[in-house]
Amino acid sequence: MIPAMRKVVVAGNWKMHTTPAEAGELARTIAARMREPAVTRVLCPPFVCLAAVRDALAEAGEDVAVGAQNVHHELQGAYTGEVSAPMLSGLATWVIVGHSERRRDAAETDEVIAGKLNRALEAGLHPILCVGEPLAAREAGADVAEAIVLDQLRGALMPNAGEALTGLVIAYEPVWAIGTGRNASGADAAAMADAIRRKLGPPMVWDTVPILYGGSVTSANVDEFFAEPSIDGALVGGASLKPDEMAGIVARAGVTARARLAVASAMRASRST
Ligand code: PGA
């Protein structure tokens, strides 16, 4: 499949920022600055802010989806402090799975992440599965980084059948680029996206999966990623709390999304003549 057929996604990961009292207003302000219907826009506030963000966006009539930052790998049970996929029903339609901060701080393994991914897909949520190599792997060479990322993907996806990937989005987020102000190059991110699509086949399935880049994305560097046809959007952390930054990032995403829509409709027209 050509990139023209993949949707363009910009998701904001607010991490552990905002209270319920602050989140609705911030979501409304950001949403008003990123009105670009060709781009799928998602805001992922903390669990306790999901309802406030959902309500604020609905009241303002904004076409922005709400996502959670995590979900448990079991459906219910004695898991104090955890949130299951069915509990997110009505609150969120997207969910981030396997973020490197959770792999690091909550010791999430590929097996646990595979469970989360399955629970999310079963519940009809759109998962954003995060993968990415640590600095030492990148310094050891692109092939070492690629081997780690492909291992993470195989570990998380193995129990999933091919067709279950519908709705899945992958975020390539090199660990060393997250929150550091040091982003990967567009070319390196695209090479990783290509490796993911090439090595994980079957191509007809994998070509449809949007792959985002994440790691110190800002309105100033996002051009570099959208210049790459293999990259379908961005998972934005720090900059996603800033309305000006999100406005710039989504505006740039809109250029790519509208160019893709134009190619897709030209292809449809040429097929029907
Ligand atoms: P960052 O975070 O944009 O602050 O680097 C990205 C992420 O953690 O998803």
CA dihedral 74, 80, 83, 84 (to 10 degrees): 20
Ligand 1 pocket mutation, candidates 14, 178, 240, criterion most atoms within 8 A of CB:
178
Q: What angle do CA 256, 200, 113 make, to 5 degrees?
A: 90
- Ranges under pLDDT 50 in the chain: 161
Summarize pLDDT for 227-250 with one digit per residue, the tens: 999 999 999 999 999 999 999 999
Which pLDDT does position 4 carry in this prediction?
65
* 14 residue type, one letter: W
Cα 39 to Cα 65, 105, 240, distances in angstroms: 11, 32, 15
pLDDT at 206: 78
Dist. CA 128–CA 244, nearest whole Å:
24
In sequence order, what are the residues at sequence separation of 6 or more whose Cβ sits closer than 8 angstroms to the Cβ of residue 213?
Answer: 171, 172, 173, 184, 186, 189, 193, 225, 231, 233, 234, 235
Residue 267 CA to ligand 1 center (angstroms) comes to 36
CATH superfamily ID and name for 3-272: Aldolase class I (3.20.20.70)
pLDDT given at position 163: 53
Measuring CA to CA, how many Å separate 177 from each of 16, 113, 181, 212, 217? Answer: 18, 21, 7, 14, 9
Expressed in angstroms and rounded, the spacing between residue 15 Cα and the centre of ligand 1 is: 9
Instruction: Please tell me the predicted confidence (pLDDT) of residue 164.
Output: 62
pLDDT tens digits along 87-106: 999 999 999 999 999 999 99
Q: What pLDDT does 167 receive? A: 84
Is 99 labeled as catalytic in the residue annotation?
A: yes
Best of 44, 99, 104, 217 for a ligand 1 pocket test (most atoms within 8 Å of beta carbon): 217
